[in-house]
């Protein structure tokens, strides 16, 4: 019996590590022929993922077929760029010798094992396409894990194909043409420039990111955390591109455990408050691990909540400090930013918190709506629990996700899907209280069509993972490809 070992090379941030580890669980649970080694990569200046943290993400699954390799040597790699794509590109280029050494040691270790697996391939994060070169050196196939949805992949692949035929194509011009639109295969609606991902509009990052998507064409397959029932037109359109590798929709891959180190007391306090609220009565506001707003915008959100009259649970975090320009901080006193008397006036219907145990909250029966930044993991979590969304995207591909949720899938209402907030607040538009209140009231209507459609896709998503259904079949197809392509 053939046995194969896959080497996973993740991007070391929670939004990428969590779903790729969930996918590892699905793979080893789905087929006993597979085992996986996951590289733990440390990026200078960022809190490194630890073996214990990554093992905790695996939950109760026996991990004898999931191994971790700690690349401690990678700490010496110097990468000082402030651009995420530029950082990732140069960092992984410099990381090649460390990965090469770790994989050689892994292969050498197999020689002393009587029933050892064969190295079957790399599964690399969408930001790590430089590692395709290392896989080629070992004569093994590489597969890409795409942490965003198929719609984003279809959009970026289309832009990349346009640059292949027109070397002078410059998408950054759309920065000054927000009302322009382009036709994208697989989309029912023209995509407006105002929802393009940030990276497309950036002169430094755009060619680097398009280069990563060009490199993906060299892989033997792309694993996407989505389901056919949600993004069928985008997936079918990608499949029609004969120069593009096969697409394997394996989702929704959702981590149903809260992974952030929150005290039991805080989580219990939140759940106790939710327990006291009527079913589907609470709107939950949470904007992801990087989500924060200026003091002026916070006051407009507060006023909007009051005007809506809806019960709310609001995850509110402080804007990053200059010495840590990305990660938001926790408030020690919410009164320093909220309107005077807000907490007293809303004490009976609302609760303001810091970091939120998002999965626990979305799973609670009292939660009836989710005001979200539309990060892909959060989107899938909301759909999994059947909670309709109001879109308020902040950066990266979130605006495109929000556009698709509102216009393509009709699974969300819009508060703001063309909000443009990078890490520079200087040009940010303030969303006014009345606009927020209108969106929340529409979201929380008990019998609207969006709520019904979200419940339907929630049921289809859970069913897709069951034996014989779409995502399960896609996973089996991928495993068979891995085994058949082993050297």
Asked, for residue 256, whether it belongs to a domain, the answer is: no
DSSP calls for 300-333: HHHHHHHHHT-EEEEE--BPPPTTSSSS-B--S-
Asked, for residue 120, whether it belongs to a domain, the answer is: yes
Are 450 and 410 a contacting pair, CB within 8 Å?
yes
Residues 225, 314, single domain; the answer is: no
- Residue 165: which H helix or E strand, with range? helix 150-165
Per cent of the chain over pLDDT 70 is: 87
- Say which residue, 321 or 305, is predicted with more confidence: 305
Residues 185, 306, single domain; the answer is: no
Give the pLDDT confidence score for residue 61 in this predicted structure.
57
Distance CA 127, CA 119 (A): 22
Are 227 and 251 a contacting pair, CB within 8 Å?
yes
Split at pLDDT 50, 70, 90, the class of 89 is: confident
Residues 313, 408, single domain; the answer is: yes
Residues 284, 238, single domain; the answer is: no
What is the value of pTM for the model shown?
A: 0.92
Split at pLDDT 50, 70, 90, the class of 53 is: low
Residues 395, 320, single domain; the answer is: yes
Range with lowest mean pLDDT among 212-226, 374-388, 420-434: 420-434
Tokens of 112: 């002393």
Active-site residue (options: 125, 198, 202, 215): 125
Distance CA 210, CA 219 (A): 15
The answer for residues whose C-beta is within 8 angstroms of residue 424's C-beta and 6 or more apart is: none
- Say which residue, 51 or 38, is predicted with more confidence: 38
Residues 231, 365, single domain; the answer is: no
Asked, for residue 447, whether it belongs to a domain, the answer is: yes
Q: What is the mean pLDDT of the chain?
A: 88
Range with lowest mean pLDDT among 81-85, 332-336, 445-449, 464-468: 81-85
Asked, for residue 14, whether it belongs to a domain, the answer is: yes
Split at pLDDT 50, 70, 90, the class of 168 is: confident
Residues 469, 423, single domain; the answer is: no
- Using CB atoms within 10 Å of the CB of residue 437, give its burial: 0 to 12 exposed, 13 to 18 middle, 19+ buried: buried
16 in catalytic set: yes
CATH of the domain at 49: 3.40.50.2000
The residue segments making up the domain with residue 29 are 4-155+160-169+180-251+465-484
Asked, for residue 105, whether it belongs to a domain, the answer is: yes
Distance CA 436, CA 358 (A): 21
- Asked whether residue 425 carries a pLDDT value surpassing 90, the answer given is no
Residues 246, 385, single domain; the answer is: no
- Calculate the CA 332 to chain-centre distance: 29
- Residue-wise pLDDT tens digits, 148-159: 999 999 999 999
> 284: left (phi > 0), else alpha (psi -120 to 50), else beta?
beta
The mean pLDDT of 14-20, rounded to a whole number, is 86
Give the pLDDT confidence score for residue 120 in this predicted structure.
96
Residues 448, 475, single domain; the answer is: no
> 288: left (phi > 0), else alpha (psi -120 to 50), else beta?
left
Distance CA 145, CA 49 (A): 18
Residues 385, 236, single domain; the answer is: no
Instruction: Give the chain's domain count.
Output: 2
Are 355 and 378 a contacting pair, CB within 8 Å?
no
How many residues appear in the chain?
Answer: 487
Q: Which residues pair with 329 in a beta bridge?
A: 318
- CA–CA distances in Å: residue 155 to residues 190, 258, 264, 401, 454: 11, 31, 42, 11, 24
Asked, for residue 93, whether it belongs to a domain, the answer is: yes
Phi, psi of 192 (to 5 degrees): -75, 145
The mean pLDDT of 457-465, rounded to a whole number, is 97
Residues 16, 65, single domain; the answer is: yes
Phi, psi of 117 (to 5 degrees): -80, 170
- Residue-wise pLDDT tens digits, 251-308: 999 988 754 544 566 788 999 999 999 999 999 999 988 888 989 999 999 999 999 9
- Asked whether residue 401 carries a pLDDT value surpassing 80, the answer given is yes
- Asked whether residue 426 carries a pLDDT value surpassing 50, the answer given is no
C-alpha dihedral, 80 to 84 to 85 to 86, nearest 10°: -20
DSSP 408: I
Asked, for residue 64, whether it belongs to a domain, the answer is: yes
Give the pLDDT confidence score for residue 15 in this predicted structure.
83
Distance CA 38, CA 18 (A): 12
The mean pLDDT of 163-172, rounded to a whole number, is 83
Buried b (16+ CB within 10 A) or exposed e, 259-268: beebeeeebe
CB half-sphere exposure, 409, CA atoms < 13 A: 32
CB atoms under 10 Å from CB of 115, counted, come to 7
Split at pLDDT 50, 70, 90, the class of 51 is: low
Distance CA 250, CA 29 (A): 14
Asked, for residue 356, whether it belongs to a domain, the answer is: yes
125 in catalytic set: yes
Residues 445, 474, single domain; the answer is: no
Tokens of 177: 């043409």
Give the pLDDT confidence score for residue 170 in this predicted structure.
87
The answer for residues whose C-beta is within 8 angstroms of residue 57's C-beta and 6 or more apart is: 17, 18, 21, 22, 255, 257, 259
């Amino acid at each position: 019996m053939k046995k194969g070992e896959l080497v996973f090379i993740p991007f070391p941030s929670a939004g990428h590590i969590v779903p790729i580890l969930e996918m590892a669980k699905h793979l080893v649970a789905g087929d006993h022929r597979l085992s996986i080694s996951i590289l733990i990569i440390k990026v200078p200046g960022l809190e490194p993922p630890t073996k214990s943290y990554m093992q905790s993400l695996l939950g109760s699954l026996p991990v004898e077929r999931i191994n971790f390799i700690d690349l401690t040597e990678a700490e010496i790699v110097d990468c000082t760029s402030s651009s995420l794509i530029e950082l990732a590109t140069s960092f992984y280029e410099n990381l090649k010798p460390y990965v090469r050494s770790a994989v050689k040691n892994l292969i050498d270790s197999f020689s002393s094992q009587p029933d050892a697996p064969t190295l079957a391939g790399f599964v690399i994060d969408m930001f790590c396409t430089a590692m395709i070169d290392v896989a080629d050196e070992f004569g093994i196939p590489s597969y890409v894990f795409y942490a965003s949805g198929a719609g984003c992949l279809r959009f970026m692949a289309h832009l990349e194909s346009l640059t292949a035929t027109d070397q002078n194509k410059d998408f950054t011009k759309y920065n000054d043409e927000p009302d322009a639109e382009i036709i994208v295969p697989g989309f029912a609606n023209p995509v407006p420039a105002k929802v393009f991902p940030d990276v497309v509009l950036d002169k430094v990052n755009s060619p680097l990111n398009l280069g990563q998507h060009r490199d993906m064409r060299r892989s033997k397959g792309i694993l996407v955390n989505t389901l056919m029932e949600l993004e069928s037109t985008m997936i079918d359109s990608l499949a029609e591109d004969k120069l593009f590798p096969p697409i394997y929709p394996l989702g929704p891959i959702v981590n149903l455990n809260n992974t952030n180190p929150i005290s039991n007391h805080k989580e219990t306090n939140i759940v106790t408050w939710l327990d006291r609220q009527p079913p589907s009565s609470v709107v939950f506001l949470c904007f992801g691990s990087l989500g924060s707003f200026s003091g002026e915008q916070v006051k407009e959100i507060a006023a909007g909540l009051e005007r809506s009259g809806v019960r709310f649970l609001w995850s509110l975090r402080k804007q990053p400090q200059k010495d840590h320009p990305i990660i938001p901080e926790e408030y020690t006193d919410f009164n320093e930013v909220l309107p005077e008397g807000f907490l007293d006036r809303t004490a009976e219907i609302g609760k303001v918190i810091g970091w939120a145990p998002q999965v626990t909250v979305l799973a609670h029966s009292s939660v009836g709506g989710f005001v979200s930044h539309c990060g892909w993991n959060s989107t899938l979590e909301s759909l999994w629990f059947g909670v309709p969304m109001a879109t308020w995207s902040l950066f990266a591909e979130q605006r495109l996700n929000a556009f698709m949720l509102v216009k393509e899938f009709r699974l969300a209402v819009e508060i703001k899907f063309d909000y443009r907030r990078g890490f520079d607040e200087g040009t940010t538009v303030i969303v006014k209280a009345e606009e927020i209140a209108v969106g929340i009231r529409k979201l929380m209507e008990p019998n609207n069509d969006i709520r019904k459609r979200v419940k339907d896709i929630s049921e289809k998503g859970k069913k897709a993972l069951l034996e014989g259904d779409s995502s399960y079949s896609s996973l089996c197809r991928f495993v068979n490809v891995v085994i058949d392509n082993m050297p």
